[in-house]
């Protein structure tokens, strides 16, 4: 789990790193220069193990990082600087190229660097276009859905008192289908926000026990087929985004209901530890195999043969939200026996505000 947290931190860092519009022009153009200096110092330190092919690797490394960080301009600057300086800075004196060889190497450096800069710029533009398309399309889809939902509610009200059970059934179905589409759209929007590092959290101190009580009460109303039991008690407070962290628990409880058809009970428990609280959600349903367990937190993953509707995004989003709260989420499960999902969140202390 620790490795996963480190990986996610690295991923979030790299998302921020590769957004040139977040760095100002001086930073973007200074970056390749500083990188070249750094690599040169490294080369001096590692001079005993330097080998002939290294300048190519170093120049590639410098150009890739510069174009990721600063975009095409700094990428090209890094290309030109490494091409000019490679002979003076990076090669051992005895190995320096000369004549035609030198010209050829420099040309290859230049072409390689140009390609890298252009390709990474094109990829970034494609990603930006994809994200803005999803976000634009999602907002455009949400507006008419809101209108449909309001008219549907009005229609339902106008039928009040009338003996039209069938019509009321239709209206309820429209309502739940509109809710499903809205949830799918929200999931897609969340995924694009996570990918671009734009998932903003509004954290506050929260009494997690009473928050869970509210969630369980609401979910119980929506899932009459199951009895959701709540065990344990904790007066600890967490520092979290109420809406986002509620989403995590709602998703796991929903899944417990969805993936335990024909079973009656779901058990939610809360345990206070010294610096954290652990919430578990247990079901006695279809469970997961060892291989499935490894993959369920990935985007769009759904266990083979899953018959219930879904996109395979809920647990991915839940995991990202938990990680953004410096917490952990994991699962224990046995095929056909059921699953227990755990969420561990740090408790509120003054230190947490500084993180």
What are the residues binding ligand ADP (CB under 6 A)?
Answer: 251, 255-256, 259, 283, 285-288, 296, 301-303, 306, 310-316, 339
CB of residue 122 to ligand ADP, shortest distance in Å: 31
Is 279 or 313 the residue whose CB approaches ligand ADP more closely?
A: 313
* Cα 22 to Cα 34: distance, rounded to the nearest angstrom: 18
Residues 347 and 345: their CA atoms lie apart, in Å, by: 6
Q: How many CA atoms lie within 13 A of 285 on its CB side?
A: 25
Nearer to ligand ADP (CB atom), residue 70 or residue 285: 285
* DSSP string for 219-250: HHHH-TTSEEEEE-----EEEEEHHHHHHHHH
- Collapsing DSSP to helix, strand or coil, 20 comes out as helix
Closer residue to ligand ADP (CB): 76 or 185: 185
Give least dist CB 179 to ligand ADP, A: 14
Q: How far is the CB of 292 from ligand ADP (least distance, A)?
A: 7
Query: Which C-beta is closer to ligand ADP: that of 220 or that of 306?
Result: 306
Our CA dihedral for 70, 72, 74, 77, rounded to 10 degrees, sits at 170
The H or E element spanning position 178 is helix 165-195
8 Å CB contact between 321 and 247: yes
CB of 199 to ligand ADP, least distance (A): 16
How far apart CA 350 and CA 355 sit, in angstroms, is 10
Give the nearest distance from C-beta 92 to ligand ADP in angstroms.
53
3-state secondary structure of 259: coil
Q: What tokens appear for 296 in the block?
A: 């369920």
What is the radius of gyration, based on Cα positions, of the chain?
27
Question: Smallest distance from the beta carbon of 116 to ligand ADP, in angstroms?
Answer: 35
Q: Using the minimum distance from each CB to ligand ADP, give the nearer residue, 43 or 302.
A: 302
Q: DSSP letter at 94?
A: G
For ligand ADP, the closer CB: 30 or 311 = 311
State the minimum distance, in angstroms, from the CB of residue 182 to ligand ADP. Answer: 14
Q: Which two tokens stand for residue 18?
A: 């590769």
How far is residue 327's CA from residue 112's CA, in Å, rounded to a whole number? 42
- CB nearer to ligand ADP: pick between 113 and 310: 310
> Residue with CB nearest ligand ADP?
310
């Amino acid at each position: 789990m620790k490795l996963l947290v480190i990986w996610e931190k690295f991923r979030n860092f790299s998302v921020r790193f590769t957004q040139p519009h977040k760095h100002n022009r001086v930073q973007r153009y200074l970056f390749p220069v500083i990188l070249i200096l750094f690599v040169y110092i490294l080369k001096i330190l590692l001079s005993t193990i330097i080998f002939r092919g290294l300048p190519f690797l170093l120049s590639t490394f410098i150009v890739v990082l510069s174009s990721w960080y600063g975009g095409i301009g700094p990428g090209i600057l890094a290309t030109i600087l490494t091409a000019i300086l490679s002979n003076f800075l990076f090669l051992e004196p005895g190995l320096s190229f000369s004549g035609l060889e030198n010209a050829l190497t420099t040309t290859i450096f230049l072409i390689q660097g140009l390609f890298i800069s252009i390709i990474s710029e094109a990829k970034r533009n494609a990603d930006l276009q994809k994200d803005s398309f999803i976000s634009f399309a999602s907002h455009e889809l949400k507006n008419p859905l809101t209108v449909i939902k309001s008219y549907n509610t009005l229609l339902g009200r106008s039928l009040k008192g009338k003996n039209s059970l069938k019509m009321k059934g239709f209206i309820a179905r429209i309502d739940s289908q509109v809710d499903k589409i809205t949830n799918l759209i929200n999931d897609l929007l969340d995924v694009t926000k996570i990918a671009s590092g734009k998932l903003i959290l509004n954290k506050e101190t929260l009494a997690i026990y009473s928050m869970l009580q509210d969630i369980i009460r609401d979910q119980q109303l929506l899932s009459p087929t199951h009895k959701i039991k709540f065990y344990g008690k904790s007066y600890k407070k967490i520092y979290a985004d109420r809406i986002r962290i509620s989403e995590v628990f709602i998703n796991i409880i929903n899944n417990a209901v969805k993936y335990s058809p024909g079973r009656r009970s779901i058990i939610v428990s809360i345990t206070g530890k010294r610096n954290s609280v652990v919430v578990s959600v247990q079901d006695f349903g279809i469970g997961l195999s060892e291989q499935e367990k490894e993959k369920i937190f990935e985007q769009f993953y759904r266990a083979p043969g899953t018959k219930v509707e879904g996109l395979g995004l809920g647990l991915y989003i839940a995991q990202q939200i938990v990680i953004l709260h410096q917490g952990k989420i994991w699962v224990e499960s046995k095929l056909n026996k059921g699953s227990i999902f755990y969420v561990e969140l740090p408790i509120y202390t003054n230190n947490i505000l500084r993180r």
